[in-house]
Amino acid sequence: MIAAYEYLCGYFYDQKKEYSVSWDFYQCLVNDKPASIYLNLGLASRVPLAGYPELFYLRIPMCQPREDGLSSQAEFETLNQIENKVVEALTADNKMIYVGRLTSDGCRDLFFYSSSDDIDEEALELSLNDFSEYAWEGGINPDPEWEMYFQLLMPSETQLESIKNRRVCDAMADKGEAFTTLREIMHWAYFATETAASEYAAKAQATGYQVLGTQLQDNDDERYCVQVSNIGIPSHQQIDEYTLPLFMAAAELGGRYDGWESAVKTM
């Protein structure tokens, strides 16, 4: 069996930098335009970091964007090389932290938090010397509360749940999952009151889930655990369809959806 909560974070702790590292991506809309965001989710529980109050951004207009403004396969490797060179140059002395990137509207924006407003322009220009066909612009502004990180880069709770689902499916694929066989998928949600737990169970049952039971817990804040299940294939394409309605229903009732579990079915 693979349980979602075993693969939610995938963090590792960097003792030199005193924060966790957990990079992931998701797609969304920014200013009503398709966007792809890649960020270090591991920072979320540690920031704002008082020693890094300045936000630095580097905007790189793409040479061959797709029609929807996202990056094309033809430009993929070059954009990665640019990103790697810039990040290496600006974070070498730990005066800057790379937190994420936004790709949208024909541009790729790289975001850093800095210990000062003094950017090593020489190192930045040197890192971009091999990419003369790319124009770029940058800027630095105070952001001691890391508002940009939370308001622009961080996924919503629903988007974060989708990221968690993808990680579990990736883990299943690594174990040989074929994603072709129907099987039972179990889900858990926690509530402070019996009333909320009962309403949740009723909603789940009304939408096709089987209610397996409600259990009392020692935690007064989450005293009631409701377990439900459905039959399906927990694939990348389908798992959000099974889990997000349960996630949102739990939130609406003041509870917490705690993930899912499924047996791995190989060929």
218 — pLDDT class (breaks 50, 70, 90) = confident
**Residue 173 corresponds to which tokens in the numbers above?**
């694929």
Is the preceding peptide bond at 144 cis, omega within 30 degrees of 0?
no
Say how far apart CA 71 and CA 86 lie, in whole Å.
18
Strand partners, 19: 14
| Angle, vertex CA 55, rays to CA 95 and CA 41, nearest 5 | 85
The residue assigned the tokens 């179990």 is: 186
What confidence tens digit (pLDDT) does each residue in 118-160 have? Answer: 999 999 999 999 999 999 999 999 999 999 999 999 999 999 9
Average pLDDT over the chain reads: 92
Nearest to 229 by CA among 208, 247, 210: 210
Nearest to 224 by CA among 179, 186, 188, 177: 188
220 — pLDDT class (breaks 50, 70, 90) = confident
Say how far apart CA 151 and CA 154 lie, in whole Å.
6
Lowest model confidence (mean pLDDT) among 45-49, 154-158, 234-238: 45-49
What confidence tens digit (pLDDT) does each residue in 177-189 have? Answer: 999 999 999 999 9
Per cent of the chain over pLDDT 90 is 87
Instruction: Return the exposure string of 18-54: e unless at least 16 CB atoms fall within 10 Å of the residue's CB, then b.
Output: ebbebebebeeebeeebbbbbbbbbbbeebbbeebbb
Instruction: Return the exposure string of 192-220: e unless at least 16 CB atoms fall within 10 Å of the residue's CB, then b.
Output: beeebbbbbbebbeeeebeeeebeeeeee
**Residue 127 corresponds to which tokens in the numbers above?**
């890192």
Helix 239-252 and helix 157-174: axis angle, to 10°?
Answer: 140
Q: What architecture does CATH give domain 157-262?
A: 2-Layer Sandwich (3.30)
Nearest to 82 by CA among 71, 67, 97: 71
**Residue 5 corresponds to which tokens in the numbers above?**
């909560």
Per cent of the chain over pLDDT 70 is 93
Q: Is the pLDDT of residue 24 over 50?
A: yes
Nearest to 187 by CA among 209, 207, 215: 209
Q: Is the pLDDT of residue 16 over 70?
A: no
Say how far apart CA 155 and CA 27 lie, in whole Å.
9
Nearest to 99 by CA among 150, 62, 133: 150
| CATH number, domain 10-153, options 1.10.3470, 1.20.1250, 3.40.50, 3.30.70 | 3.30.70
What confidence tens digit (pLDDT) does each residue in 86-100 have? Answer: 999 999 999 999 999
Q: Is the pLDDT of residue 33 over 50?
A: yes
Nearest to 184 by CA among 84, 260, 245, 97: 260
> pTM, whole model, 2 decimals?
0.87
222-247 mean pLDDT: 97
pLDDT value for 5: 38
73-78 mean pLDDT: 96
59-86 mean pLDDT: 97
Which regions of the chain carry the CATH code 3.30.70.970? 157-262
Q: Is the pLDDT of residue 3 over 70?
A: no
pLDDT value for 55: 98
Task: Pick 3 or 105 by higher pLDDT.
Answer: 105
pLDDT value for 18: 59
